[in-house]
Amino acid sequence: MSHAADQLYQQILEALRNQNIFGANQLLAALLAAEPDSYRTLVIAGVVRFHLYDYAGAERHFEQALQDYGPAPEALTNLSKVYLATSRESAGLETLRKALKIDPNQFAAVVSYAKLLEEANGSAGLVAALVELAEDFGSCLAKLYLARHALDEGDEERALALYENAADGELSSDALLMISGDLGARGRHDWVRRFVADRYDPERHSPDVGVNLVTSLAASGDRQGAVDVLQAMVRALPPGTVDMASFEAFIASSPAGSA
């Protein structure tokens, strides 16, 4: 993998995030010339073709990735999107299940699977899908979605039990972001501290997890804890990632209290 190919790949990802599909397609031509047969090139090529509504081209790229590199959750999940977009619901559902058996915590696969069953069977289908993923597949993310649902239903006891169960295993960056966001938005800053504070690592986890944690610590009166997390983020992340002055002002305006 060359440095030039690495740069092109990152530029394509950025173009896709900005919904600049035609720009991504132009960059893709260069990546295909520089690194035509790698797994990442085949998958990102399929993603770009999918966004251009070239479903046949996308399918070819994803199938090539699976043929050359074996079953991988990312390629399977993206292939399922092609099946679903071309009215092959049964194949799409089965392909998603294959992806989830390999990685039950792949965010896109969990969301897609739950959404499919919700569309078919309403809210009961959504809950049933999440329970299946949590219990049969061992999906931590599914447990967190069930906890969110319990909070929405006002059942904090069940939500707490689900969070505790999920926290028995290792929590990914996606999981910590979901926990800190859901609980912080509902004012359960004590639970954010309980489930996120000791697990957050600015070198491994999304900066957004750190932002949520700083916000919850400050909101609960732990100014020093918020400052400590903020300083750890500044040390670990590239310059300019954290707006130190804005956060320091926010922390200073937060209620004083004991940790």
Mean pLDDT, consecutive 10-residue stretches, the chain (259 aa), reads 87 95 95 94 97 98 97 96 96 95 92 88 89 93 94 94 92 94 95 95 95 94 93 90 85 71
Contact 210, 201 (CB under 8 A): no
pLDDT at 24 (0 to 100): 95
Q: Which residue has the tokens 């972001």?
A: 177
Pick from 203, 229, 201: which is nearest to 215 by CA? Answer: 229
pLDDT at 240 (0 to 100): 84
In a domain, 246, yes or no: yes
List all residues 6 or more positions away from 152 whose beta carbon is below 8 Å from its beta carbon: none
In a domain, 193, yes or no: yes
In a domain, 6, yes or no: no
Long-range contacts of 211-217 (CB under 8 A, 24+ apart): 212/177, 212/180, 212/181, 212/184, 213/180, 214/247, 214/251, 215/184, 215/250, 216/180, 216/183, 216/184, 216/189, 216/192, 217/189, 217/192, 217/193
CA–CA distance, 241 with 20 (Å, rounded to integer): 23
Contact 179, 162 (CB under 8 A): no
Residue range(s) defining the domain that contains residue 227: 170-259
pLDDT at 259 (0 to 100): 45
Total domains in the fold of the chain: 1
In a domain, 38, yes or no: no
CA distances from 99 to 79, 80, 90, 199 (A): 10, 9, 14, 27
In a domain, 156, yes or no: no
CA–CA distance, 110 with 237 (Å, rounded to integer): 29
Contact 34, 1 (CB under 8 A): no
81-104, pLDDT tens digit by residue?
999 999 999 999 999 999 999 999
HSE of 60, CA atoms in CB hemisphere, 13 A: 7
In a domain, 190, yes or no: yes
In a domain, 24, yes or no: no
CA–CA distance, 200 with 125 (Å, rounded to integer): 33
Burial 208-242 (b: 16+ CB within 10 A, else e): ebbbbbbbbbbbbbbbebbbebbebbeebeeeeeb
In a domain, 77, yes or no: no
| Whether this model's pTM surpasses 0.85 | no
pLDDT at 64 (0 to 100): 97
